[in-house]
A = this chain, B = another copy of it.
Amino acid sequence: MDATHDPQRRSFVASANGHADFPIQNLPLGIFSPKGGAARGGVAIGGCILDLGAVAHLLGGDARRAAEAAAGDALNALFALGAGPRRALRAALSDLLAEGSAQRAAVEPNLYDAADCEMHLPARIGDYTDFFAGIHHATNAGKQFRPDNPLLPNYKYVPVAYHGRASSLRISGTDVRRPKGQRKPASETVPTYGPSRNLDYEMEFGIWIGTGNAQGEPIPIAEAAEHIAGYCLLNDWSARDIQGWEAQPLGPFLAKNFCTSISPWVVTPEALEPFRIAQAPRPEGDPKPLDYLWDEADQARGALDLAVEVLLQTPKGGPFRLSISNTSHLYWTFAQMVAHHSCGGCNLAPGDLFGSGTISSPTEDGFGALLEITYGGRKPITLPNGEERRFLEDGDTVIFSARAQRDGFVSIGFGECRGTILPAT
């Protein structure tokens, strides 16, 4: 076992030991600013954040280069260095923060209490792409339009995706203004402009791109996983009434681009290594992916076993659990998303972000959006405190979390992706 995953390893940062999300076995990367200070790269360790640029001089070689690249207000430069320096940084930080670290005295002045820090977007996001790889979500959503034939013929061949809006991505904790837009319920003959009446969340996984590719040069599937810098949680807030009216024939636009929320910590592929699993075998009768999407090693180790949970806090109560699902329900691996995105020559760049698509289980307790849970609003749910919900109401807070667990390993988490709905202006 890699020493960074040793369950016996503890940190001299006391809050890290037994921490639900950020024990020393995780070491996720992010951009933070201490009170009154500038934004800079950091690593979460328990309830603290270590300033990476400030400790770069304690490191050597690739690890030092990586820490220096993280000293600015965005992690793009670190992502651009690729997997080698990122792995070296992880190994070095694990030693630096371990109990008995010879550098403890030099490290401690550069630790900040996370409660006193503000988190920022981890990178300047050049382009944001949203996939549609949650097959149970795609099926449930499709049923609302095509009850007998919910999945379109391309679904099992194409890792379907569309381009999203990069400018309106926001860090967890940012309030979400209910959007206005054109809505035309079936009962009305013409659309009207006004606040969305069917505001929803979508529980997604975010994928950060590390090294990119030159335009015209696809990334082979066997190399695709090496282009991923890490993962986060992503809420693809969706105005269902706006979406239903605007989205044909060119896809969702204003229904999604008013805000997309992400969790601030980039959990690295290295931290998630123990939680990699085989991609679930395709059901009998499903086609084998085309060659440019097929790699034995990716099939054997390309999926992740992470529990993902959605909580709802209302102005009157909660938080109440709305669902719990697992990233293993995705129909395509993350490497397949990278290979597909670049297969026509589109150039990816460090700091690009993918959404996985809404992650839903086959069963109701794991549906990743209210659209599915309330069957398009037709079957409201009753919360434990008696409140009803069809869609989100003003003042509601949606909270995502994720957890990686495996016998013999220390469990790690992602922190929260949270947003509260403000009334339309």
| Chain A interface residues toward B at CB < 8 A | 126-127, 132, 142, 152, 154, 157-158, 160-168, 170, 177, 179-182, 184, 190-193, 215-218, 239, 242, 245-255, 257-259, 287, 290-292, 340-341, 343-349, 352, 422, 425
**Count of identical protomers in the assembly:** 2
Contacts of A343 in B (CB 8 A): 180-181, 193, 254
B254 touches A346 (CB 8 A): yes
Contacts of A127 in B (CB 8 A): 165-167
Closest to A293 in B: B193
A161 touches B253 (CB 8 A): yes
B258 touches A346 (CB 8 A): yes
Contacts of A259 in B (CB 8 A): 215, 345
A190 touches B157 (CB 8 A): yes
**Least distance between A18 CB and chain B CB atoms (Å):** 38
Query: Lowest 6 A-B CB distances belong to which pairs?
Result: A251-B251, A179-B344, A177-B216, A162-B250, A163-B163, A254-B344
A250 touches B160 (CB 8 A): yes
A162 touches B251 (CB 8 A): yes
Cα–Cα, bound, A166→B132 (Å): 20
Contacts of A182 in B (CB 8 A): 154, 157-158, 290
Contacts of A248 in B (CB 8 A): 152, 154
Cα–Cα, bound, A392→B248 (Å): 27
Contacts of A168 in B (CB 8 A): 215, 345-347
Cα–Cα, bound, A193→B245 (Å): 33
Contacts of A247 in B (CB 8 A): 249, 251
Contacts of A245 in B (CB 8 A): 154, 158
B291 touches A193 (CB 8 A): yes
A253 touches B167 (CB 8 A): no
When A157-B182, A158-B246, A190-B287 are in contact, do A253 and B345 touch as well, CB less than 8 Å? no
Contacts of A425 in B (CB 8 A): 216-217
Cα–Cα, bound, A242→B161 (Å): 13
A164 touches B167 (CB 8 A): no
Contacts of A179 in B (CB 8 A): 344-345
**Least distance between A261 CB and chain B CB atoms (Å):** 12
Give me 27 A-to-B residue pairs in the complex whose CB atoms sit less than 8 angstroms apart, sorted by A's number: A126-B167, A127-B165, A152-B248, A152-B249, A154-B182, A154-B191, A154-B245, A160-B246, A162-B163, A162-B251, A162-B253, A163-B164, A165-B346, A177-B345, A180-B343, A180-B345, A190-B287, A192-B290, A215-B259, A216-B258, A250-B251, A251-B251, A251-B252, A257-B344, A257-B346, A258-B345, A258-B346
